[in-house]
Amino acid sequence: MASQAEVAVMGRAVELAARGLGTTSPNPVVGCVILDASGAVVGEGFHAYAGGPHAEIVALAQAGERARGGTVVVTLEPCNHHGQTGPCSTALVNAGVARVVIAVTDPTTSAAGGAERLRRAGVEVEVGVREAEVEAGNIAWLTAVRRRRPFLIWKYAATLDGRSAAADGTSMWITSEAARMDVHSHRSTADAVLVGVGTVLADNPQLTARNLRDGSLAIRQPLRVVVDSEGRTPADARIRDQAAPTWVATAAELGSDERGQVNLADLLSRLYERDVRAALLEGGPRLAGAFLAAGLVDQVVGYLAPRLLGAGSAALIDAGVHTVADAIELEFTDITRVGPDLRFTAVPRNVKG
């Protein structure tokens, strides 16, 4: 059983792992802390970017010989394969560590097996320490690789009465600048941003991640995806500029459902093949309804402005619910004030896919 000190150190490993959010995809975020034989922290590391050294390798480099006979506390099972870097399990064995404490086992067939490799080498291994907390911090990647489709987050902004636009069609701006800045920060950690062609035709968004204070673009830009069954996206749409990569996904390319619309499950599978692990669904209300009806939304992030309109477009249309008993139930996981607005995060309780 893990000691209280090891449990506490895993909390530090979680903090380190979070530093890689938005830069490691399609790899996971991972944090690692190494204790020497006396229990003192001698090395720390996190996976910073895809193709770069893994968290364990960074921590081992910092610890040096002090890792021998020590304990490694790591959020994800050390990898056991030769990819762009060598197996972390072998590196730990060669470093002479005595014990490895792991939060979550690796669900991929290519990299799993590190724990068994360590045990065969005589290293003591403990698995499952602060597992739920670490799962939550790496939920997008873990969900994606387990389901072979991106972790899909539906983001929307609305008034307290659920309106995303006024009766005259105006929607800029329902929420505050603080909320919009928060959205751009969220975009910069996603691999893709999805909208329907209706949103492109109505609002002509650019869908880049940028600093709203000076307009500068974030270093990392998500793939911009337009779900456009009939290929109606204009050639001069802002989403077609060179600021970020764009994919206009049509039914002709992907296949369609019984209504002639883009098959959404196939769309997500194709995005996974393109190394998209976390995707942000931003519009519009019918596309959101279609994803929800198909059970393909993993998380909902809503920004609620302290305003009432009483008329205008609803934030969600046709999610396949026809009676209260069939309502899509959500469980709140966070409620935070952002400027004058409220941001809530919730997960559907009855996801199908």
105 carries a ligand binding annotation: no
Query: At which residue do the structure tokens 């500068």 appear?
Result: 216
Query: At which residue do the structure tokens 């959500």 appear?
Result: 330
Q: Which helix (H) or strand (E) holds 43?
A: strand 41-46
88 carries a ligand binding annotation: yes
285 carries a ligand binding annotation: yes
| Cis peptide preceding 196, ω within 30 of 0 | no
Q: Which of 283, 299, 302 is nearest to 182 (CA)?
A: 302
85 carries a ligand binding annotation: no
Q: Which residues, 6 or more positions from 204, have their beta carbon under 8 angstroms from its beta carbon?
A: 237, 238, 239
207 carries a ligand binding annotation: yes
Phi (first) and psi of residue 229, to 5 degrees: -55, -40
Q: Which residues, 6 or more positions from 77, have their beta carbon under 8 angstroms from its beta carbon?
A: 102, 104, 105, 106, 111, 112, 114, 115, 127
25 carries a ligand binding annotation: no
284 carries a ligand binding annotation: yes
Q: Which residues are catalytic?
A: 56
186 carries a ligand binding annotation: no
290 carries a ligand binding annotation: yes
286 carries a ligand binding annotation: yes
Binning the chain into helix, strand and coil, the percentages to the nearest 5 are 30, 25, 45
Q: Which string of DSSP letters, residue by residue, matches 93-127?
A: HHHT-SEEEEEE----TTT--HHHHHHHTT-EEEE
In whole angstroms, give the CA distance from residue 12 to residue 32: 8
32 carries a ligand binding annotation: no
187 carries a ligand binding annotation: yes
282 carries a ligand binding annotation: yes
CB atoms within 10 A of CB 148: 10
141 carries a ligand binding annotation: no
Q: Which of 201, 194, 181, 171 is nearest to 315 (CA)?
A: 171
199 carries a ligand binding annotation: yes
In sign, the C-alpha dihedral spanning 316, 317, 318, 323 is positive
Tell me the binding residues.
Answer: 54, 79, 88, 157, 171, 173, 187, 199, 203, 207, 210, 229, 282, 284-290
Binding-site annotation: residue ranges for substrate: 171, 187, 203, 207, 210, 282
Binding residues for NADP(+) are 157, 173, 199, 229, 284-290
Please enumerate, by residue number, every residue annotated as part of a binding site for Zn(2+).
Answer: 54, 79, 88
